[in-house]
Structure 1
Amino acid sequence: MTSHLNPNETLLSWAAATAVHNGLVTESFTERFAAGLASYGRRPCIEFEGHWHGGDEVEGYGAAITRGLGDAGLTAREPVGLVVRNRYPHAAATIAMVAAGRPVAMIYSFQSPEAIAADIERLNVAAVLADPQDWTDPVAAATSRIGAAGLALGSSVRTLAQGDPGRQRPGIDGALAILTSGTTGPPKRFVVRSTVLEHTVFSVTGGQAAPDDPPELVYWPLGGIGGVCQLVTGVHVGKRMVLMERFSVQAWVDAVKTHGLQRVGVQPAVVRMLLEADPPAADLSSLQFLMSASGPLDVATRDAFERRYGIPVLTAYGATEFAGSVCAWTPDLYREFGARKRASCGRALPGVDVRIIDGDTGAEVSVGERGILTARVPLLGPDWVRTTDIASVDEDGFITVHGRADGAINRGGFKILPETVRGVLISHPAVRDAGVVGVPHPRLGQIPFAAVETVAGATVTEADLLAIVRAALPAHHVPVSVVVVDELPRTPSMKVSGPGLAALYRRPT
């Protein structure tokens, strides 16, 4: 296999990077981020749909949003809600809010208008920013009910509603309230303080990135930690960014080839899709490596990709609550250990502590023994954060994640708690009980499948059941199919049997 790793290069430059990571630099992150934005000037900042927007244009769009909020009577610290899409105006809005230190709560756009409206009312923000297509009647009505200002983000910024500037609002104690991947159903929000964004940038760059590097490819959803990592890192460093509204293999390959990208973060599903599409190796020849995160990448797929393209796939592990990665492979580690530790997620990042504990007692387990992964990131605070992932650490300090302890379904990086989907299904008056389980999928890893037990004498169609899930939850929660049975398979303790439920699934041929 031909290696694309530069033997003279180390991903992590410990001295300067760790100084910032450990809080030894006094200038605030917001100030450095704003300076990064100002550093572009007329230089290209964001490419979207084939057009480059200069830094001055991005700043100008953000200034228009700020004026609109000011005209609506908002103070500098009142939070806004952003119905976020991977489009230039939304990226510019996010950048503007972070640079100004204004809290912003992300609202998932890929849900029904009614669900977006309910989200807006729960948040009770002072203003709502949304694409014109998302200013539906339910969204406009919800914005009016909470007395919020409304701004439409299109080719220009338009004020749709002035709102009630004197109304009391709950605050957001941080820079961003970002969406989780949906482990507990509709994505929850995790508040990220501006200081914590230092770790976000560090986990992406390791302290080594420069404005003249090839662009950052931004295609993960901007409302979640993946998209935030890419966008915030790009501006902080002053790098160019290529923004994709949605992923497609051809668009991704074209971006790599056109811009000579050297390092790109990917989800495991992307690695599988690239293998299936089999683009010419010459189109990916600029890549030094891929960094795979957001879920487990099976060793067979990783091996197959590396054999096909000669491009190392360096895996990383993180979570929304860490605002980035806690452990990762580096090129140096890959050269020394890559052939022997294929299933590992690498070692803990500098300044990050990881330990594996017994799920019941909380005691640290022995080397090589499986337990619950916990981590402590200084910028997040002094406490250990307990995850729901089962992991182990070997004698060389390499961490391997073995699966989730909570039974969540990982659908191409989006995590789904079965109980959330079940709760929607059993809300139907014809359904007595329901079960939801993850079933294998060759590209996404897992997809949700459901079965329901009906009330005696009642009837319900699969279409009806899929419709109520689609109306209540984000799209990735919708099961691949729902079957109606007389009795659900159960364990001796009368719980629905996961293996028995999965056995009811018939994969389409």
Structure 2
Amino acid sequence: MKTPDETAPERADSGRDVAGTAFAAELSTHLADYGDRPCIEYEQRWYSGAEFTNAMREIDRRLAGAGVPVSARIAVVVRNRVPHAAAVLGSIAGNRPLAVIDCYQSGAGMGRDIERIRPGAVIAAAEDWTAPVVDACARTGCAGLVLSPALGDVRIIAERDSGVIADPVGDVPGLHLLTSGTTGPPRRIPIPTAALAHTVATMTGGATAAPDDPPELVHWPFGSVGICQLLAAPFLGKRMVLLEKFDVAQWVRAVRTYRIRRTGVQPAILRMLLEADVPRADLASLEYLPGGSGPLEPELREEFERRYGIPLLWAYGATEFAGSVCAWTPELHRRFGAEKAGSAGRPLPGVDVRIVDPDTGDELAADEQGLLEASVAVLGPDWVRTGDLASVDSDGFITIHGRGDGAINRGGFKILPETVRAVLLAHPAVRDACVVGVPDPRLGHVPFAAVETRHGSPAPTEDELRRAVRDALPSHHVPVAIAVVDRLPRNAALKAKIDDVAALYRRD
């Protein structure tokens, strides 16, 4: 289903290289336009455009000095810091393939990522150069660059070993991101440089900016598609305020100080603002808040909008779609907000959406529930099936009804229970395991596990099992608690009873 008067972009793959090169050149121009003007604020210090672009050039110079060709895939262990932002935007402006490695995992997990990616170089802060990361770089022959907290201070710790590295040349220029699980188990997929114009549009809602507009507020973790928040400010010609992580006090300070009018949020952020009882006057500049990364419960929407009088314009998307699939706009909210409050809006330009029967794949009629599929023109003609149950009404508004695969949404990070269960089952003392989502007042849901021990084996400790998950998976997969039991509660078919397992959870 398309929005009215929509003209889909050209789908031909042959045009991607040209379009990607044009996007990269446009980004370079926008960044250069800052000159000596403020570009990015971090920890309440402003960096000029010249400082920022000089840092980008220094990273490029160090990559060349380490023997890394311009076509090589680069991996960045990302943190929401200014040097990392320079590494990311510099790679995109150079039309390089850039693989993002989440810093919120163990060193062993980062090392496994490096061996899977096989980049020409790894760029990371000093604290992330742990022994497993160093060893992984040595085995793959990739170069190593250390980012200092001081912008532009970059050090080579390992040169590229052309005699060892097996895959020095990347495939698709653009961002290579780990998916959150919307369309299946997490995997790293490319968002071509040519597709990032679509992503910028989903981040900005097609807005334009005046020179005196307030800055963009960037706080979504760089390890997700939220890294594309970095692109919005340059393309709007605006400054940006960067937070290393979301913090109520710092977020409110930025909104209040710069009179910010809109900024992206997640359900967990709304809960944290409500719990902190932020004064309404501190948020008075906000005209609306676009949001996503998880369902917005009606009760949460009602409480937030009642307390602050700020419309919440929710969207739905995934990394696989290079951003949002559908969203509300201020105009749609004015016309339909009251009657369609539970919807995620209409499809964005260049996006087709359909609802299909999970078993037959047949397209369903208006208002019928099935699995959502989407096709994003700039990514190609393929339809990608999600694991989300949805429906589309006769006015083209999409409503998400929940997961079809039981995924846990932890503050916007999706966790497939079977992924965590597989790690627990690998422990020699675990006979069986069950992982469920339990309610959390701040994050929506969090993973909880119960394990059944093998007879005759020493019972594992909860800390031991949590460490095993932390070593194998990103940190948001680690259960908040693990109950070690002799027998899991089961039904007549001997399947673990989800509700009874959840009842074992006891919040301290």
Specify if TM > 0.5: yes
Q: Which residue of 1 aligns with 2:271?
A: 272
The secondary structure found in structure 2 opposite 1:301 is helix
The answer on 1:136 being equivalent to 2:130 is: yes
Q: Which residue of 1 aligns with 2:58?
A: 64
Q: Which residue of 2 aligns with 1:6?
A: none
Give me the whole-angstrom Cα distance separating, in 2, the residues matched to 1:35 and 1:491: 63
Q: Which amino acid aligns with 2:86?
A: A
Q: Which residue of 1 aligns with 2:466?
A: 466
Q: Which residue of 1 aligns with 2:43?
A: 49
Deviation at 1:492, TM superposition (A): 3.1
The answer on 1:445 being equivalent to 2:444 is: yes
Q: Would the alpha carbon gap of residues 204 and 183 (structure 1) be closer, same or farther in structure 2, given more than 3 Å must change?
A: closer
Deviation at 1:288, TM superposition (A): 0.4
Q: Which residue of 1 aligns with 2:494?
A: 494
Q: Would the alpha carbon gap of residues 105 and 266 (structure 1) be closer, same or farther in structure 2, given more than 3 Å must change?
A: same
Q: Which residue of 2 aligns with 1:396?
A: 395
Q: Which residue of 1 aligns with 2:386?
A: 387
Q: Which amino acid aligns with 1:210?
A: A
The answer on 1:506 being equivalent to 2:506 is: yes
- Give deviations 1:79-106, integer Å, cap 9, x for gaps: 1110110111000110100001111111
Q: Would the alpha carbon gap of residues 370 and 203 (structure 1) be closer, same or farther in structure 2, given more than 3 Å must change?
A: same
Q: Which residue of 2 aligns with 1:93?
A: 87
Give me the whole-angstrom Cα distance separating, in 1, the residues matched to 2:181 and 2:316: 17
Q: Which residue of 1 aligns with 2:220?
A: 220
The answer on 1:32 being equivalent to 2:26 is: yes
The secondary structure found in structure 2 opposite 1:101 is coil
8 Å CA contact 1:47, 1:242 repeated in 2:
yes
Give me the whole-angstrom Cα distance separating, in 2, the residues matched to 1:69 and 1:35: 22
Deviation at 1:181, TM superposition (A): 2.6
8 Å CA contact 2:248, 2:272 repeated in 1:
yes
Q: Which residue of 2 aligns with 1:436?
A: 435
8 Å CA contact 1:21, 1:198 repeated in 2:
no
Q: Which amino acid aligns with 1:283?
A: D
The secondary structure found in structure 1 opposite 2:264 is strand
Count of aligned pairs between the two proteins: 494
Q: Which residue of 1 aligns with 2:96?
A: 102
Deviation at 1:110, TM superposition (A): 1.0
Give me the whole-angstrom Cα distance separating, in 2, the residues matched to 1:341 and 1:316: 13
Deviation at 1:360, TM superposition (A): 0.8
Q: Which residue of 1 aligns with 2:155?
A: 158
Deviation at 1:184, TM superposition (A): 9.3
Give me the whole-angstrom Cα distance separating, in 2, the residues matched to 1:392 and 1:265: 24
Which consecutive unaligned segments of at least 5 residues does structure 2 have? Answer: none
Runs of 4+ with >4 A deviation: 17-27, 182-187
Which consecutive unaligned segments of at least 5 residues does structure 1 have? Answer: 1-13
Deviation at 1:20, TM superposition (A): 7.3
8 Å CA contact 2:408, 2:414 repeated in 1:
yes
* 1:343-422 aligned within 5 A: 343-422=342-421
Deviation at 1:507, TM superposition (A): 3.0
The secondary structure found in structure 1 opposite 2:231 is helix
Give me the whole-angstrom Cα distance separating, in 2, the residues matched to 1:185 and 1:150: 32
Q: Which residue of 1 aligns with 2:312?
A: 313
Q: Which amino acid aligns with 2:476?
A: H
8 Å CA contact 1:370, 1:390 repeated in 2:
yes
Deviation at 1:126, TM superposition (A): 0.9
Q: Which moved more, 1:178-187 or 1:196-205?
A: 178-187
Deviation at 1:190, TM superposition (A): 1.7
Give me the whole-angstrom Cα distance separating, in 1, the residues matched to 2:115 and 2:344: 40
8 Å CA contact 2:172, 2:190 repeated in 1:
yes
Identity %: 56
Give me the whole-angstrom Cα distance separating, in 1, the residues matched to 2:110 and 2:266: 26
Q: Which amino acid aligns with 2:53?
A: E
8 Å CA contact 2:72, 2:96 repeated in 1:
yes
- Give deviations 1:384-418, integer Å, cap 9, x for gaps: 12111100111221110010111110000011111
8 Å CA contact 2:183, 2:384 repeated in 1:
no
Q: Which residue of 1 aligns with 2:116?
A: 122
- Give deviations 1:103-157, integer Å, cap 9, x for gaps: 1111111111122112112211111100011112221122112111110011201
Give me the whole-angstrom Cα distance separating, in 1, the residues matched to 2:204 and 2:74: 29
Q: Which residue of 1 aligns with 2:322?
A: 323
* TM-score (ref. length: structure 2): 0.93
Q: Would the alpha carbon gap of residues 478 and 19 (structure 1) be closer, same or farther in structure 2, given more than 3 Å must change?
A: closer
- Give deviations 1:34-61, integer Å, cap 9, x for gaps: 1111211112111111111111111110
* 1:162-201 aligned within 5 A: 162-165=159-162, 167-169=165-167, 171-181=170-180, 188-201=187-200
8 Å CA contact 1:21, 1:351 repeated in 2:
no
Q: Which amino acid aligns with 1:332?
A: E
The answer on 1:82 being equivalent to 2:76 is: yes
Give me the whole-angstrom Cα distance separating, in 1, the residues matched to 2:233 and 2:408: 31
8 Å CA contact 1:216, 1:234 repeated in 2:
yes
Give me the whole-angstrom Cα distance separating, in 1, the residues matched to 2:224 and 2:384: 19
8 Å CA contact 1:186, 1:473 repeated in 2:
no
* TM-score (ref. length: structure 1): 0.93
- Give deviations 1:414-468, integer Å, cap 9, x for gaps: 1111111111111111111100000111111101010011000222221221121
Q: Which residue of 2 aligns with 1:11?
A: none
The secondary structure found in structure 2 opposite 1:317 is strand
Q: Which moved more, 1:234-243 or 1:367-376?
A: 234-243
Give me the whole-angstrom Cα distance separating, in 2, the residues matched to 1:455 and 1:168: 42
Q: Which amino acid aligns with 1:158?
A: R
Q: Which amino acid aligns with 1:69?
A: L
The secondary structure found in structure 2 opposite 1:360 is coil
- Give deviations 1:211-257, integer Å, cap 9, x for gaps: 623211110011210122x1022223332111100111111111101
Give me the whole-angstrom Cα distance separating, in 2, the residues matched to 1:140 and 1:488: 41
8 Å CA contact 1:438, 1:446 repeated in 2:
yes
Q: Which moved more, 1:158-167 or 1:281-290?
A: 158-167
CA RMSD for the aligned pairs?
2.2
